[in-house]
Structure 1
Amino acid sequence: MKTKVEICHIDSNRCVVRVSGFDGERDLGSALGEGADAEEAEDRARQRLEERNLKGRVSSEPKRNPQPAIKQQGDPQVQPAKPAKDPGSRETNPANTASPIPFQNNEAQAVSTPEPSEAPTDPEDWSEELTAIDLQLKRIGWTRDQEKIYLERAYGHGSRHKLTRYSDLVSFLNKLKSIETGADASSSPTPLRRSDLIAQGDEMLTTLKWDQERAKTFLQSKLGASSRQQLSDEQLFEFNMLLEEQLITAIPQEN
């Protein structure tokens, strides 16, 4: 299995990475890992991904039909007796064999149900957030060049005007609020990439075949929120870790 490692978050206390697996051109999914450093976080993410794929291979093994055991060579009277003597019983058998069909249809409906969209309707005016960012930068004592250094570390480009997602702008602002005055822009903790966390959560919800109602119920029971929009970056990361646990434990139950 070939892997691709992406650093989602790193600071002096911890590192969060995302490991994506590939078998040739086949996508094996991805997993998050958290550790004191990048190596530990990568090992944990790789272990979670391998564990999930191992259970997936076990669950996908075809079941063996015990057909030879059903056929009895020593009792030739059994085969003609059922259709000849009791035609009424043959009418009830189709009803019994048809009983799993509604369950399969329900399952198919669950798959086709659109996954919950957590992308909020972005406000048209971001001026309030941009003003708040300027105030935070002034409090910390960063110049434009220092802001550029930080943005390049956090988002891969040096201008806040290239933050095209409102959630990323808010994430940037929230992280600035936690940075101490006089902190070094080249080593200050960067925000988790919220858009990446949302995308990974969507991927896992699709794999779990959860509809919007089930995902909402799970979110409420675990974190007390009705939408991922209400979660902080840290809580969103925690929610994804909970989904990964559900994914790992749910795979064997598909047998």
Structure 2
Amino acid sequence: MGRDATPTAAGLVELLHADAQRVIVRITAGQGAALQSALGEGSTAEMAEDRARQRLAQAVAQPPARNAAPARAKAPAPAPAPVAAPAPVPDTAPPSPPPQPQLELQPTPEPPPPAPAPAPALTELAVMPEPVHEPPAEPEDWSEELTAVEMELQRLGWQREQEGEFLQRAFGHPSRTRLVNYADVVAYLKALRCLEPGSAPGSAPVPLRRPDLLRCSDELLGQLQWGAAQGRQLLEEQFGKASRQQLSDEQLLQFNQLLEEQLIKAS
């Protein structure tokens, strides 16, 4: 705190120091050679000033010594450096800062499910062959089926020449002994059972062969340039099936006929 000089009736009062514990003042009175000063210290400015006045009064009341050599004036002690008063302590504690909002932990979001793989551009019916179910195990004894073939030929009234003509159209050879696959024997028997007596072997419907039917539907689907969804939609609408493997030979033939009709309309 800087020095403050306040003139009073009893002299000049200077505030030399003030802090929270003590206050020091100096009072100066008189003029010229009679100039006197005194310091006072107290916990308050009033107490410090009162003590300084008392000391000043004592100094003025004491007469100077006679015939005494004048005392060499001592250099005044340097005034103590002013000490900055500490900042006043407020009576009340500062308000506590508002509570910081707590961050709510958000649950880690579940990773999105993987996107479904795009459907192949080309029809799986035409380009990707469907898995072929394993045919039933062939019996070792075909005598029952071969006997049934003989009975059907007698019902139709066909001789060896007529049977050979029909076999040539259906299987590419004129002899029944060259039917080495059980599936061909069964297909031949089914075809004979569908014929009426007196049917001409040159115009009678040939038996349905599943590999040929599947190959034919592959070609028709490729010509139509249908996707897998279009072929499956036709199967579901007409047969209530989702795959050609679920169709019988007769239904597979009908499916091929429907594809042919769609090809005719497209062209």
Whether these two folds match at TM > 0.5 is no
Shorter-chain-normalised TM-score: which range? 0.3 to 0.5
Which of the pair has the greater relative contact order for Cα pairs under 8 Å at 6+ separation? 1
TM-score, length of structure 1 as denominator length? 0.43
TM-score (normalised: structure 2): 0.41
Question: Larger radius of gyration, structure 1 or 2?
Answer: 2
- Structure with a larger share of its residues in helix: 1
